Amino acid sequence: MSTQHLSEQEIIRREKLQELQKLGIDPYPAPLYPVNITAEKIKQEYKGEENKADFADVCLAGRIMSIRDMGKASFAKMQDSTGSIQLYIKRDEICPGEDKTLYDKVWKHLTDIGDIFGVKGYVFTTKTGETSVHVTELTFLTKSLKPLPIVKEKDGETFDAVSDPEFRYRQRYVDLIINPTVKDTFLKRSQLINTIRDFLNAQGALEVDTPVLQAIPGGAAARPFITHHNALDVPFYLRIANELYLKRLIVGGFDWVYEFSRNFRNEGMDRTHNPEFTVLEWYTAYKDYFWMMEITEQLFEKIANTLHNSTKVQVGDKEIDFKAPFKRISIYDAIQEHTGFDVSNMNETELREVCKKLNIHTEASMGKGKLIDELFGNKCEMHYIQPTFIIDYPVEMSPLTKKHRSKAGLVERFELMVNGKEIANAYSELNDPIDQRERFEEQAELLKRGDDEAMYIDNDFLRALEYGMPPTSGIGIGIDRLVMLMTNQPSIQDVLLFPQMRPEKTGE
Long-range residue pairs from 489-492, CB within 8 A, at least 24 positions apart, any chain: 489/185, 490/271, 490/316, 491/165, 491/271, 491/272, 492/271, 492/272, 492/273, 492/274, 492/277
Print burial letters for 189-200: b (CB count within 10 Å at least 16), e (below 16): beebbebbeebb
- pTM comes to 0.89
Q: How confident is the model at residue 157 (pLDDT cuts 50, 70, 90)?
A: low
The Cα 200–Cα 282 span in angstroms is: 9
Over 80: is that where the pLDDT of 161 sits?
A: no
Could you tell me the CA-to-CA distances from 405 to 287, 371, 435 in Å, in that order? 14, 24, 15
Rg (CA), the chain: 29
The Cα 170–Cα 173 span in angstroms is: 9
Beta strands in 392-471 (DSSP E): 413-418, 421-428
**Domain 182-326+386-494 architecture:** 2-Layer Sandwich (3.30)
User: Is 415 within any annotated ligand binding site?
Assistant: yes
The Cα 15–Cα 22 span in angstroms is: 11
Q: What value does the mean pLDDT take over residues 295-315?
A: 98
User: Is 45 within any annotated ligand binding site?
Assistant: no
Nearest to 296 by CA among 332, 262, 277, 322: 322
Indicate the class that CATH gives domain 8-148.
Answer: mainly beta
Q: Please report, for the chain, the start and end positions of each structural domain, with discontinuous segments joined by +.
A: 8-148, 182-326+386-494
Q: Is the dihedral of CA 345, 348, 354, 359 positive or negative?
A: positive
Please report the pLDDT score of residue 76 as a whole number.
Answer: 98
pLDDT (tens digit per residue) in 405-424: 999 888 999 999 999 999 99
Q: What value does the mean pLDDT take over residues 356-384?
A: 93
State how far Cα 241 lies from the chain centre: 17
pLDDT (tens digit per residue) in 14-71: 999 999 999 999 999 999 999 999 999 999 999 998 999 999 999 999 999 999 999 9
User: Within a 10 A sphere around the Cβ of 109, how many other Cβ atoms?
Assistant: 10
Q: How confident is the model at residue 78 (pLDDT cuts 50, 70, 90)?
A: very high
User: Within a 10 A sphere around the Cβ of 2, how many other Cβ atoms?
Assistant: 5
Q: How confident is the model at residue 165 (pLDDT cuts 50, 70, 90)?
A: confident
Q: What is the largest CA-CA distance in the chain?
A: 94
**Range list of H helices, 403-458:** 433-448
Please report the pLDDT score of residue 191 as a whole number.
Answer: 98
Cα angle 249, 250, 253; round to 5? 90
